[in-house]
Structure 1
């Protein structure tokens, strides 16, 4: 039987594939991923397809496959190319036990699943780029996939682990500059999603012990470089200290203790901290060490310099100064060294070497080109043209 043009679904790269071909080679895990990325429930999807939620559930378990006539509608509803549902592409499934969420108990399950689906796509993008470009070796003791220190563990006590990692990374005893870029240089993939990307921005930062360490930094609470840096160090602590993500308060406290010692080592910061609370002095230290005044106040309490009563009064004074010069938030966009660049630079290098383009990469991943741009942090440079209509 001859196939008519209307039986073809336009694919990327000028190819076409029939709805029946997609149905026959349907990957149920891709439907789950796309649905979670879209923030939709099975019932939401079923309403658009005029089928039951149970039927969508069967599609996702592989018990049955969507009819060919449902494929184009499914792609439209979930905003993916129809080829997205084809089986055979590399994938890495993540669940909550493989990721550390800073606010696990207060984060709804649906939001965690959406964020995990985002992390899965970051893994797929990283994998595609690693097939073309050698990324930095994973230099992270305590991480199961570490390549520079395979099998080597850091001390279990958070502050000791932070000091040892500083030593191994040759950071000296002073401030850690360009923290995010340093993490990338040691093989950690760091992503800062756009605030408009609901698939990741709905949760606080999280990290995953995927085959390559991954840290997702979000700005859903505040766009402030000092909080951003502490959060990055916090997630770094999870990666080296915690093989299993239990989401309990103990792990969160340990990651905070790691971050505090990693960014402000006791031996170096203690002589510089005021014995009587001087917010002007703390504002200067904030700029020098790249940590918030709030964190420095807590560090004073942690190191026994001030009492609980003093810390409470100091926080009240700090709130009264919010927004004043020296006490305002500073956006991450003003600090290039705190913005991820690894994946974008890998893409640019692959483009120079093999002619890789956004469209080629999108075709390989079965994503829309705009999705590739979003995850790479690459803007569309094409000019927007409009016809001028005269009456």
Structure 2
């Protein structure tokens, strides 16, 4: 990354009346979805009718200054958040590949895509000060997708060759993706309000974005496979209809070949289901034992019955806390840092967090969350 010329916008000094006059309906939709509220639940908190919220969001009517104050309080944003004039890009549900689409309710997908919109806004703001790595993903260019015309395994080999990764283990998957211009974030937004959002990605933006979630981060090997799976979507499925089970299977095939190339892994896989041998390979290649068992069957090394018995035995051992997960926070190279490091560099150009938050018209705590910065300040409350 390199520092580039940029200038801060200064603290916003816009009155509530001016915000009401320059109201942007898209910002209300985004803020409401981030908070996981329906129009009805928001209306209830504001003591207005759901139809009023509908009119505000459609742009057929505007909230008055008093409503702006209440909206800011309920949706946990500065009043200036609702004003027009800032860069905005819409990400629809059809623009994102959700790993667990069928069991993810619409409201949770809306919250997730609104989160991606804000990640893009943060990235856009930082790129005025810091030059991020160029997007270098085969089949992608400035939000446009071009079919490689390859099957998943061949596409994975093509990416490995293009990125000069050789045929051995990839030490740091997340860092490798960031190095080639992909924005990754380990989303703390998921939590209890989006329990079924596993991971997702979109290639419809100038920079592709992959969102990883804490649930997968409990095991670094699942986390790495998920990142590779989402890379598969970016490379293979830019123009495809999302949510197809076939596409998810193809992304898995891409990830398996990307992390464990057939040419390299086949001679190393045991001819019988030896869990100790697979455990050693798991550590060397940075993939789960489950993934290697799948690979054994996929490459025709073991029979279906041996495959099933291996999973049964592995599940029994996991129940007695053997072969336990290895959290991603013990592996710095698998934690996204691109945006956080870009912000550190931007601070050199006089872009402290309050000024960045002001430019984005967000609260500093929200910007820290988007940057992946843990807020370690003590939480205080009135008594």
| Segment drifting more, 325-334 vs 336-345 | 325-334
Over alpha carbons, which structure has the higher Rg? 1
Given candidates 291, 298, 313, the residue that maps to 1:295 is 291
Given candidates 158, 161, 171, the residue that maps to 2:155 is 161
Q: 1:195 offset after TM fit, Å?
A: 6.3
Q: 1:55 offset after TM fit, Å?
A: 1.0
TM-aligned CA distance change 1:199 to 1:86, over 3 Å:
farther
So what's the TM-score if we normalise by structure 1? Answer: 0.90
Given candidates 19, 25, 29, the residue that maps to 1:28 is 25
Task: Give the whole-Å Cα distance in 2 for the aligned partners of 1:190 and 1:376.
Answer: 10
Matches within 5 A, 1:113-192: 113-145=110-142, 154-192=148-186
Q: Give the structure 2 partner of residue 230 of structure 1.
A: 225
Q: Give the structure 1 partner of residue 330 of structure 2.
A: 334
TM-aligned CA distance change 1:347 to 1:155, over 3 Å:
same
Q: Give the structure 2 partner of residue 88 of structure 1.
A: 85
For structure 1, the residue ranges without an aligned partner over 5 or more in a row are 1-11, 387-391
Task: Give the whole-Å Cα distance in 2 for the aligned partners of 1:279 and 1:201.
Answer: 32
Q: Which has the higher contact order (CA 8 A, sep 6+)?
A: 2
The answer to whether the Cα contact below 8 Å between 2:190 and 2:213 also exists between their aligned partners in 1 is no
Given candidates 68, 92, 103, the residue that maps to 2:65 is 68
TM-aligned CA distance change 1:78 to 1:233, over 3 Å:
same
Post-superposition Cα deviations, 1:142-163, rounded to whole Å, max 9, x if no partner, equal: 11327xxx98753420000000
Post-superposition Cα deviations, 1:314-354, rounded to whole Å, max 9, x if no partner, equal: 111001111667611000000000000100110001112x1
Q: Alignment RMSD, CA only?
A: 2.2
The answer to whether the Cα contact below 8 Å between 2:12 and 2:358 also exists between their aligned partners in 1 is no
TM-aligned CA distance change 1:129 to 1:163, over 3 Å:
same
Q: 1:21 offset after TM fit, Å?
A: 1.1
Task: Give the whole-Å Cα distance in 2 for the aligned partners of 1:258 and 1:40.
Answer: 36
Q: Is the counterpart of residue 274 in structure 1 residue 266 in structure 2?
A: no
Q: 1:355 offset after TM fit, Å?
A: 1.5
TM-aligned CA distance change 1:77 to 1:357, over 3 Å:
same
Q: Give the structure 1 partner of residue 5 of structure 2.
A: none
Q: Is the counterpart of residue 37 in structure 1 residue 70 in structure 2?
A: no
Matches within 5 A, 1:205-284: 205-209=199-203, 210-220=205-215, 223-244=218-239, 245-284=241-280
TM-aligned CA distance change 1:201 to 1:268, over 3 Å:
same
| Segment drifting more, 298-307 vs 319-328 | 319-328
For structure 2, the residue ranges without an aligned partner over 5 or more in a row are 1-8
The answer to whether the Cα contact below 8 Å between 1:154 and 1:164 also exists between their aligned partners in 2 is no
TM-aligned CA distance change 1:249 to 1:383, over 3 Å:
closer
TM-aligned CA distance change 1:151 to 1:49, over 3 Å:
closer
| Segment drifting more, 153-162 vs 284-293 | 153-162
Does the residue aligned with 2:130 lie in a helix, a strand or coil?
coil
Does the residue aligned with 2:215 lie in a helix, a strand or coil?
coil
| Segment drifting more, 295-304 vs 305-314 | 305-314
Q: 1:222 offset after TM fit, Å?
A: 6.1
